[in-house]
Amino acid sequence: MRLKHHLLDVFTERPLAGNPLAVVLGADGLEPARMQEIAREFNLSETVFVLEPRDPVNTARVRIFTPALELPFAGHPTIGASALIAFERARDILGQAPLRVVLEEDVGAIVCEVSRVKGVLHAQFVAPRLPEIIDAPFDIPRLAASLGLAVEDIGFDDHRPLLASAGLAFAFVPVASRAALNRVKPDIAGLAAALPMQRPAINLYTRETTDPANHVQARVFVPGLGAHEDPATGSAAAAFAAVAHKFERPEDGEHGLRIEQGHAMGRPSLIALTLRIEGGALTQVSVGGASVIVGEGVLSL
């Protein structure tokens, strides 16, 4: 079996930054166990397998694997796969007008809009479900110790640690400064014990950014999902909308947040998060970003 694949950098406009992604095309003949083996071979945070859609009205079906397990949904694979599919199938049209791509993922059909501006691919999707806050207790001293931080480094203004999910649960931990964020050195065993969740996944964030045009800088660690630090995490960004809504209490209308990530890894990334507020309630969340195709090849299996 010979399968074409592409390598992309997602949530960046330049190669060798952002979050790497492998996309394997024409994967209908692969069993899930084989997909998992291929994901381990690439050893990236996620690998996407593109299949024919179950419903022909949709563009494609995709399955997403980390090196350790399959995910029902993930943000940077959705952004990268939709951008690649649009480029592969309609690159001439793509330069003239945005294209609608509908991906079947385990959480449901996800509607993406893909455009090409000055040669750069951009994609945006509406989160398949609204993020929610999950009520869970945090032991702040234990959490701080597992991160290599002092208790006073945790929190700012009204922001405090909590769990939120838009399909995948993350512990969101506000950090008082970018200096403290850069000092974080997680003890993975200690972190797993400190977090009130089965598979540890943590998003640390601060208001201090590298680029003053952005709003938040984040670091995301996902040892429970088969990776350690992640350069850009769209599913965490989608869940962060619930955090921003709870603590910032934005007025009705649309609000954009620009989230920096990956700076501590030397892979700077930028995630565009859009919140729609109606009657004080969060009614829609969109995640967007750029993608760069950096390579292609053939798997011989």
Q: Which element (helix H / strand E) includes 220?
A: strand 216-221
CA 100 to each of CA 68, 85, 114, 115, 293: distance values in angstroms, whole numbers, following the listed order: 31, 11, 6, 9, 19
Cα within 13 Å of Cα(171), Cβ side:
28
46 is catalytic: yes
User: In sequence order, which residues have a C-beta less than 8 Å from that of residue 258 and are 6 or more positions away?
Assistant: 213, 214, 215, 216, 270, 271, 272, 273
| H-only helix segments in the chain | 32-42, 75-94, 140-147, 178-183, 188-194, 234-248
Cα within 13 Å of Cα(206), Cβ side:
19
Cα dihedral 230, 232, 238, 243 sign: positive
Among residues 13, 31, 41, 46, which one is catalytic?
46
Q: Which residues pair with 159 in a beta bridge?
A: 156
Residues marked as catalytic: 46
